[in-house]
Chains A and B, each alone.
Chain A
Amino acid sequence: MIKKDYLSTPKGTRDILLEECEAQGRIEDRLKASFQSYGYRPVITPGIEYLDVFAEAPGNTGSEHMFKLVDNEGRILVLRPDSTAPIARLTATRLKHSEKPLRLYYNQRIYRQKNLYSGHNIETSQMGVELIGANTIRADLEVLQLATEALESCGLRDYRIELGHGGLCELLISRLTPDERVKEQLRQLIQAKNYPTLSDFLDTMGQGEAVRVIKALPGLFGGGEVFRQAAGLFHDQETKDIIEYMHALFEMLPRFGLGEKVMLDLGFVNANDYYTGIIFQVYLQGSGEAVLVGGRYDRLLERFGEKLPAVGFGVNVDLLTKNRLDQGSEEPSEAPGLLVWGEPGYEIDGMKYAQSLRESRGGAVENGLFENLDQCKAYALSKRISSIHTVGEAVRIYGPDAEKGGGPG
Chain B
Amino acid sequence: MKPLRIAVAKGRLEEETQALLEKMGMDCSAAKDKGRKLILPLDGGRLDLVLAKSQDIITYVEHGVCDMGIVGKDTIMESAQSLYEVMDLGFGRCRMILAAGVGKDFYQGFGAKTVASKYPNIARGFFESKAMDVNIVKIEGSVELAPLLELADGIVDIVETGGTLRANGLEEKEHIAHLSARLVVNVAGMKLRKEEIDGFIHRLRPLVTVEKGGA
Contacts and interface: CB of A to CB of B under 8 A. Distances in A.
Given A115-B81, A193-B85, A288-B186, A160 B64 contact: no
B47 interface: no
Contacts of A115: 81
Interface in B173-215: 185-192, 194
Contact of B59 (A119, A162, A283, A289): A119
Interface string A50-77: 0000000000000000000000000000
Interface stretch (A194-202, A332-340, A388-396): A194-202
A119 B63 contact: yes
B194 A222 contact: yes
Given A119-B59, A119-B63, A288-B64, A194 B86 contact: yes
Nearest to A281: B191
B83 interface: yes
Interface in A297-329: none
Q: Which of B59, B63, B65 has the most chain A CB within a 10 Å cutoff?
A: B63
A115 B121 CA distance: 13
A156 interface: no
Nearest to B84: A193
A288 B87 contact: no
A13 interface: no
Nearest to A223: B194
A283 B189 CA distance: 9
A118 B64 contact: no
B86 A195 contact: yes
B62 interface: yes
Given A118-B59, A288-B64, A263 B81 contact: no
Contacts of B27: none
A136 interface: no
A330 B59 CA distance: 28
B78 interface: no
B188 A263 contact: no
B43 interface: no
A283 B84 contact: no
Contacts of B194: 222, 263
A197 B88 contact: yes
Interface string B73-94: 0000000010111111000000
A290 interface: yes
Interface size class, chain B: 20 to 34
Contact of A196 (B62, B64, B87, B190): B87
Contact of A286 (B64, B88, B190): B64
Contacts of B88: 196-197
A396 B61 CA distance: 60
A195 B190 CA distance: 15
Contacts of B59: 118-119
A288 B63 contact: yes
Nearest to A290: B188
Contact of B191 (A194, A196, A283): A283
Contact of A283 (B61, B85, B185, B188): B188
A287 interface: yes
B83 A192 contact: yes
Contacts of B84: 192-194
A222 B84 CA distance: 15
Sort A-B residue pairs by CB-CB distance and give the 4 closest, nearest first. Answer: A288-B64, A283-B188, A193-B84, A194-B85
Interface of B: 59, 61-65, 81, 83-88, 185-192, 194
Interface of A: 115, 118-119, 160, 162, 192-197, 222, 263, 283-290
Given A115-B81, A162-B191, A263-B191, 13 more contacts: A118-B59, A192-B85, A196-B88, A283-B191, A283-B192, A284-B188, A285-B192, A286-B64, A287-B188, A288-B61, A288-B62, A288-B189, A289-B64
23 contacts: A118-B81, A160-B191, A162-B191, A192-B84, A193-B84, A193-B85, A193-B86, A193-B185, A194-B85, A194-B86, A195-B86, A195-B87, A196-B87, A263-B194, A284-B188, A284-B192, A285-B192, A286-B64, A287-B188, A288-B63, A288-B64, A288-B65, A288-B188
